[in-house]
Amino acid sequence: MERTKFYEIHRDLGAKLVGFGGFEMPVQYTSIIEEHRRVRTSVGVFDVSHMGEFEIRGKDAGYFLERMTLNDLSKLPEGRAQYSAMCYEDGGMVDDLLVYNLGDSYLMVVNAANTEKDFQWLREHRIGHVELVNVSREVSLLAVQGPKSLETLQRLTDVDLSAIKYYRFSRGMLAGVPMVISRTGYTGELGFELYFRGDQSTARGVWEEVMEAGSHFDIGPAGLGARDTLRLEMGYCLYGNDIDQTTNPLEAGLGWITKLDKGDFIGRAALMKVKEAGLKRKLAGFSVVGVDEGRIAVPRHGSEIVKNGKMIGRVTSGTFSPSLEKGIGLGYVPVENAQPGGTVGVRIRNRDVDAEVVALPFLKR
């Protein structure tokens, strides 16, 4: 397994390390619940340097990305980021991703486990004058998330962070290092993602300065466990669980990034047919209202979703929500069973536990 430039820090902090996306990554440092709640109430720091980053440049880069991605790239001016995805010809999803318009080039950020697959997909479909460079191993990425993230980072930069609106970014110095400072994240909280280059010494220096700047706010590191519970409370999809090559973006609730009227792109014809025929199933959110032998019942990936004793789907993501203090989950069910306010059952340890279908996100703001 590969290691990010923060690996030694994680090991020194006593993090529990696991394999994820081909990297040895921290799943937790103290406890998932403690790290989760710190991000919701103060500020936490995630090492997400395992994510993949591609530079796309050349005079046809914009046209090429318009053909490859679902969202409308013409609506992405310089200085902004866009959530999007790529599909196969049959409408199945290659990956979900971010695209940044850097002015002289684009930066695409993809899921760690899909980095090589995604880069090969782009190379196979390259058209026109386009240069593709995989810079994943050069770029370090920290996600600083939580209500106190702006106050923490503002101590380290002259860039006015309050002027960076959601899904926009600025380039400047932070902790003495040039970086892209992006107002994005995967937690639903105020937060920033910091993209920068440098060796292990540079990475350690940034980490230590961020931690010192946030010491007044009880800042702390957060692992992949808290990242998962935080994103699920917001109803955000995880590739490999909630979306993959067997799912299409319309049934996954990603119709808002699927711009079928923007012109042709890979997968458009198949998605047009799906839309015209009508969805047969949808990704639905549910919260568990029943108990499991007197305890809070927690759905897990793969658990059966049932209705009147018959299986109608499986849980794609499930967890205990530290904010709501109950079990929550996502899963594909027939459209008629996906309406908020309805009820389903979740089979947990051979018992059907009652659950209510709810509108996403689970955590309302």
Cα 315 to Cα 241: distance, rounded to the nearest angstrom: 9
**C-alpha distances in Å from residue 228, one per residue of 76, 182, 223, 225, 260:** 28, 20, 9, 5, 30
Q: What are phi and psi of 203, to 5 degrees?
A: -60, -45
Q: Give dist(CA 136, CA 119) in Å, integer.
A: 11
d(CA 246, CA 182): 31
CATH number listed for the domain at residues 52-134: 3.30.70.1400
Question: For residue 200, what is the DSSP state?
Answer: H
Task: Report the alpha-carbon distance of residue 11 to residue 31 in Å, rounded.
Answer: 16
**Pair 206, 194: CB distance under 8 Å:** yes
305 secondary structure, DSSP code:
E
Give the β-pairing of 220-221 and 44-47. Answer: parallel
Strands 93-101 and 169-174: unpaired
According to the model, what pLDDT value does residue 293 have?
64
Give the single-character DSSP code of 15: P
pLDDT for the residue numbered 27: 98
Question: What is the structure's pLDDT at 292?
Answer: 67
Q: Among positive and negative, which fits the CA dihedral 72, 84, 249, 237?
A: negative
DSSP output for 87-155: E-TTS-EEEEEEEEE-SSSEEEEE-GGGHHHHHHHHHHT--SS-EEEE-TTTEEEEEEESTTHHHHHHT
Bridge partners of residue 140, in order along the sequence: 196
| CATH topology classification for 280-358 | Elongation Factor Tu (Ef-tu); domain 3 (2.40.30)
Strands 326-334 and 295-296: unpaired
Token pair for 231: 């994103």
Cβ contact 50:4 at 8 Å: yes
User: Tokens standing for 73?
Assistant: 């790239």
Looking at residue 233, its amino acid is E
Span(s) in the chain for CATH 3.30.1360.120: 7-51+137-233
| Cβ atoms 298, 336 nearer than 8 A | no
Yes or no: say if 2 and 23 are a contact pair by the CB < 8 Å rule. yes
Cβ–Cβ under 8 Å, residues 8 and 200: yes
CA distance 228 to 186: 9
> Which residue spans of the chain are classified as CATH 2.40.30.110?
280-358
Tell me the whole-structure pTM to 2 decimals: 0.96
The values of phi and psi at residue 112, to 5°, are -55, -50
The Cα 228–Cα 80 span in angstroms is 25
The parts of the chain modelled with pLDDT lower than 70 are 292-294
Instruction: Classify domain 7-51+137-233 by CATH number.
Output: 3.30.1360.120
Q: Which residue has the tokens 């390259």?
A: 126
Contact indicator for 195, 202 with CB cutoff of 8 Å: no
For the chain, the distance separating the N- and C-terminal CA atoms, rounded to the nearest angstrom, is 38
